[in-house]
């Protein structure tokens, strides 16, 4: 079966600060490969593919690509559109019409499901196609890979935000001594856990970390925060947005306010619930902070390691597809040894699709609602340059 020369790349799911670095990696590697044809980018992913809204990525100058590569968000536009049975024939018709033989979806576990489905449909229809995805998510919850592009930069943001929030609460004293910082992390606590990298001594924030993997007991949480407050004069908790109680999602109603096409529920906010609990118990002002999308788009917090590995993953996907691989996702593979090094591998899309890699037990300390040294050793190299050191009078 002769594989057409042209390549298609699309971006899918939540944005990251290095999303476009992977796009740059795919485009530059494909455009520079011997015998490769045109490189197309689908506008808003599956939506653009369905409408044959494709951009010729070979028409942009090197200078413009450098600007794109360091821009947060998704230069092509992202999507959360699910590939449905009624979409298949239209998608395959566009691929045939454009002479596309290689498809790269930069995305997470839902994108892995889309890539796997596209591979199977093309195989059944006799359409020659190679599908190799590029990993991406700030949640760091893809199976088969040591970590994901996007996580290091978001983790750096969370660590820095926690350092700042801690010093702010410490400075305000009795006027506003408690802060609850709610961060992203739909099904796993990797991002909330990264706040622990901000601590250098016992009184530093965070004092409590709530992750989905460890059910939160309201009274135990409040007790730990009160203990830190009485001891240090302030206390900071970092809470994953979908942290759960012993009986389900935290909050009065525990009903999702939105459920997307892939069936993922979104709740009002665990942090808001816990902040209210602390305010009532301690009778002090409790600040509730929810940075939202800035934690995945703050250019000033981009990790140098994240930049390097996002591009590396994009380039590896192109080489894998041109080498005959299909129905795969590029993985990041950490080398053994004391010095941090990272390479790439491959994992079947069928194993990544719709699966979630939670934090392993050896990274969690459920008794203190904290994390272990093993997690800190794992996460620290992903943040790139060392975090700043703050002083005290």
Answer yes or no: are the C-beta atoms of 164 and 156 closer than 8 Å.
no
Catalytic residue among 87, 139, 204, 327: 139
- Quote the Cα angle for 50-51-54, to 5°: 100
User: Nearest Cα to 5, choosing from 42, 29, 41, 30?
Assistant: 30
**CA distances, 315 to each of 16, 54, 154, 217, 331 (Å):** 18, 20, 22, 45, 12
Report angle CA 40, 42, 45 to the nearest 5 degrees: 150
Half-sphere exposure for 390 (CA within 13 Å, toward CB): 19
Contact by Cβ (8 Å): 9, 27: yes
9 contacts 23 by C-beta, under 8 angstroms: yes
Tokens representing residue 170 in the block: 């410490």
| Among 295, 26, 364, 309, CA closest to 147 | 309
Rg for the chain, CA atoms, rounded: 22
Task: Supply angle C-alpha 136, 333, 214, rounded to 5.
Answer: 65
Decide: 8 and 99 in contact? Cβ < 8 Å: no
> 124: phi > 0 → left, psi -120 to 50 → alpha, else beta; which?
alpha
Q: Is 253 a catalytic residue?
A: no
Burial of 254 (0-12, 13-18, 19+ CB in 10 A): middle
Distances (CA, A) of 51 to 130, 139, 239, 252: 21, 30, 40, 43
Active site residues: 139
């Amino acid at each position: 079966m002769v594989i057409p020369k042209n390549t298609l790349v699309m971006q899918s799911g939540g944005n990251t600060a290095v999303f476009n670095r992977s796009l740059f990696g795919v485009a530059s590697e494909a455009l520079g490969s011997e015998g490769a044809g045109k490189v197309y980018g689908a506008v808003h992913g599956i939506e653009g593919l369905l409408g044959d809204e494709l951009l010729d990525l070979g028409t942009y100058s090197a200078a413009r690509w450098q600007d794109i590569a360091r821009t947060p968000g998704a230069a092509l536009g992202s999507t959360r559109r699910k590939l449905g049975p009624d979409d298949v024939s239209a998608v395959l018709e566009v691929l045939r019409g454009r002479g596309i033989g290689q498809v790269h979806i930069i995305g997470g576990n839902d994108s892995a499901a889309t890539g796997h489905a596209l591979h199977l449909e093309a195989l059944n229809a006799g359409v020659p196609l190679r599908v190799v995805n590029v990993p991406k998510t700030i949640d760091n919850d893809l199976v088969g890979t040591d970590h994901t592009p996007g996580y290091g930069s978001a983790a750096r943001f969370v660590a820095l935000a926690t350092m700042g929030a801690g010093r702010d609460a410490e400075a305000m004293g009795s006027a506003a001594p408690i802060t609850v910082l709610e961060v992203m992390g739909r099904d796993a606590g990797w991002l909330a856990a990264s706040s622990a990298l901000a601590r250098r001594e016992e009184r530093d924030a965070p004092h409590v970390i709530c992750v989905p993997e460890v059910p939160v007991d309201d009274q135990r949480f409040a007790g730990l925060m009160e203990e830190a407050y009485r001891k240090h004069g302030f206390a900071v908790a970092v809470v994953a947005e979908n942290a759960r109680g012993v009986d389900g999602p935290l909050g009065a109603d525990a009903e999702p306010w939105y459920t997307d096409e892939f069936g993922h529920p979104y709740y009002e906010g665990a942090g808001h619930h816990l902040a209210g609990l602390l305010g009532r118990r301690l009778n002090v002002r409790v600040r509730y902070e929810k940075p939202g999308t800035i934690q995945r788009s703050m250019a000033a917090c981009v990790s140098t390691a994240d930049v390097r590995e996002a591009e590396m993953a994009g380039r590896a996907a192109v080489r894998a597809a041109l080498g005959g691989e299909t129905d795969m996702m590029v993985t990041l593979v950490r080398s053994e040894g004391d010095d941090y090094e990272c390479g790439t591998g491959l994992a079947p899309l069928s194993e990544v699709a719709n699966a979630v890699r939670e934090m392993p037990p050896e990274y969690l300390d459920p008794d203190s609602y904290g994390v272990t040294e093993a997690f800190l050793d794992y996460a620290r190299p992903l943040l790139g340059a060392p975090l700043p050191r703050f002083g005290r009078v």
